[in-house]
Structure 1
């Protein structure tokens, strides 16, 4: 097999696991998280031989990283329709990823993923860990969505981690 491609895929998978765990979006949004991670890594990781990012190699210009937003951050989208005096002018959602000219956002009210142009991301308002929506983050679902076999239940992993922590050698200062 191709070791380089496998390492790149592993980097993407690890990024997606972290993004899903930190966001309030369920595991079913792994495809949006992969697209976001790929978009970000193409603008950040440097190709050693050329000392440039992938984006710089393909576009012959440096990318602007100031506009990058975290995956799953709460945002509001400006409604361009149904404008009346007393109707809401914005909808709430969660930022998922960038598209060609818009941003893909999960709309909380319609429970759909849609592209919006006017999106206001609420910076520094990530939900506290474990305080997201009523969705449950479950590693088994994540492994199933990637068709990865897993042998241990979440409880077994937690017990094994507790056992390892108790039996770890004491650090000498």
Structure 2
């Protein structure tokens, strides 16, 4: 009978062909690693408190002026890092510079040679205390069971 089945697969093109191109809101030619060129100052909370008190404002006054709640200002002045938008609002209202230039991650602080830190070999060379002799247990007394749960000591 020599019948053969021929199947034709229709050529369907996908409506959205997958692409290897990354899409996003970034700017071409801008290195994303340079984004963190500034960081929040370590003493941001004391700077904010000093500037607020210099103007004679209470925490609630500052909160009202930047349209935030008073507990946000309390947390900021206690050293809890707020969101970047709150930092910008506070910096603008108090005319402060809260962001400082970031130190490179691999920056090292050089110390003078006379202030050398202790090394493992220095710690090994420190004379150890003489081993303390163990106190011998008091001898067993007559009439006391060796397998008893309680021991009598005087």
More strand by share: 1
Q: Same fold (TM over 0.5)?
A: no
- TM-score of the superposition, structure 2-length normalised? 0.21
- TM-score of the superposition, structure 1-length normalised? 0.20
From the CA coordinates, give the structure whose radius of gyration is larger: 2
More helix by share: 1
